[in-house]
Amino acid sequence: MAASRGLTFFAARGLPCPEDKGRFKMQSNDLKGLTEEALPAIAAADAASLEELRVSLLGKNGNVTMLLKSLSGMDPEARKTAGAAINHVKTQISAAISARRAALDTQALAQKLAAERIDVTQPPRPDYLGAIHPLSRTQEELAAIFGAMGFAIKDGPDIESGWHNFSALNIPSHHPARAMMDTFYLASGGVLRTHTSPVQIRTMLDWAKNEGLGASPAPIRIVVPGRVFRSDYDATHSPNFHQCEGLVIGEGIHLGHLKGCLRDFLGAYFGVPELPVRLRSSYFPFTEPSMEVDIAWNRKTGEIGGGTDWLEIGGSGMVHANVLANCGIDPRRFQGFAFGVGLERITMLKHGMPDLRLFFESDVRWLRHYGFAALTPASLHEGI
């Protein structure tokens, strides 16, 4: 036994080794010593050393295996007695290795579960609650403001016919708005709407069809917030963006009503009750006369309502007689005004946002900065 020490893992512990098999003599104290050395070593082994122990003991050239091989040199009676004793030791060692491996697996699993533990009763991100997107908040504010002014909220399909999107709005076939570079055309023949004005057309058609021309003197008063599409993409344009258009149709409607409506709306939205608003002559196919809508601001500081500069905020005008006639409304009796603003544009101005593209990039950091608390309702400005 002593001569074999240092040759294998168990040699250092005085156990028999494969290289020393010729010197091994089957004695009861040899098996007892092997068991007494092996079992405590197995019980104290970690995952790596346990495998080393298994190979040294039960492997092809392991200590127990070599003991079994040595039986061939014994007489039958001694082989029977020694074989039973060696197999008993092998069974003890195999059971000890299996038990230790199971204990190590259980310990490793417990450590992994402790390290990766998730408390499902708590929010997954306790440091961050959801926020309302700035565009959603702007639409809520517009609904509150125009709702207090007696407007109804209307919506319509994103895919429109060319007639609803262009022809009914007095936009001729050669108009640049119909060009492929501005409009998304579909194989079915429809288009992705380039503005929310088709909802105005649908509303006027429904009113003329269902109510007739003898209806209320103020039959239509609507605003139409919604998604629109154009082939533009830069810091101030996106292929997908949002507009809000307003329409009022009735008897005796004039430009004074339009400017008063815009002053109330813009003053309430930007929180500047006496916000200066200017109507500047322009051209749109669906209105006559047509006006750009400007508000006072400070070019250096960006302050809305301050300074002597003017900032374009949208378009407006009196509904063109051809548009009314296309919808079955007599332009000799009824008049109306329409206006439109870009929701991203007024949101960026109000909250100091520099780049429109960030509205659509789903960046949680941006939403944390510009978003609104979910339980905070949109408030009306006093005086509307």
In the chain, domain spans: 2-115, 131-373
Locate 176 and state its tokens: 């640049």
Of 32 and 240, the structure prediction assigns the larger pLDDT to: 240
Specify whether the CB–CB gap between 195 and 340 falls below 8 A.
yes
Predicted local distance difference test score (pLDDT) of residue 37: 84
Closest CA to 207 of 327, 95, 306, 293: 327
Predicted local distance difference test score (pLDDT) of residue 17: 46
In the chain, which ranges are continuous DSSP H helix?
A: 28-44, 47-58, 63-69, 76-115, 134-148, 162-165, 197-210, 255-270, 321-326, 343-351, 364-370
If phi over 0 gives left and psi between -120 and 50 gives alpha, with beta otherwise, what is residue 14?
Answer: left
CATH superfamily of 131-373: Bira Bifunctional Protein; Domain 2 (3.30.930.10)
Least confident of 19-33, 257-271, 325-339: 19-33
Predicted local distance difference test score (pLDDT) of residue 245: 95
* Pairing verdict, β 240-250 and 159-160: unpaired
Specify whether the CB–CB gap between 370 and 347 falls below 8 A.
no
Locate 20 and state its tokens: 């020393």
Integer Cα distance of 187 and 220 in angstroms: 34
Least confident of 100-104, 141-145, 172-176, 233-237: 233-237
Model confidence pLDDT, tens digit, residues 120-155: 776 665 556 678 899 999 999 999 999 999 999 999
**Separation in Å, CA 110 to CA 104, 106, 116:** 10, 6, 10
Closest CA to 161 of 205, 119, 194: 194
Model confidence pLDDT, tens digit, residues 300-345: 888 898 888 999 999 999 999 999 999 999 899 899 999 999 999 9
Least confident of 74-83, 201-210, 266-275, 348-357: 74-83
Helix (H, G, I), strand (E, B) or coil at 338: strand
Task: Provide the percentage of residues in the chain whose pLDDT is more than 70.
Answer: 85
Integer Cα distance of 226 and 229 in angstroms: 10
Record the pTM. Answer: 0.63
**Separation in Å, CA 188 to CA 161, 162, 191:** 10, 11, 9
* Strand partners for 224: 245
Integer Cα distance of 253 and 333 in angstroms: 10
Model confidence pLDDT, tens digit, residues 39-87: 888 888 888 888 888 888 888 888 888 888 878 777 887 778 888 888 8
Locate 172 and state its tokens: 């001729």
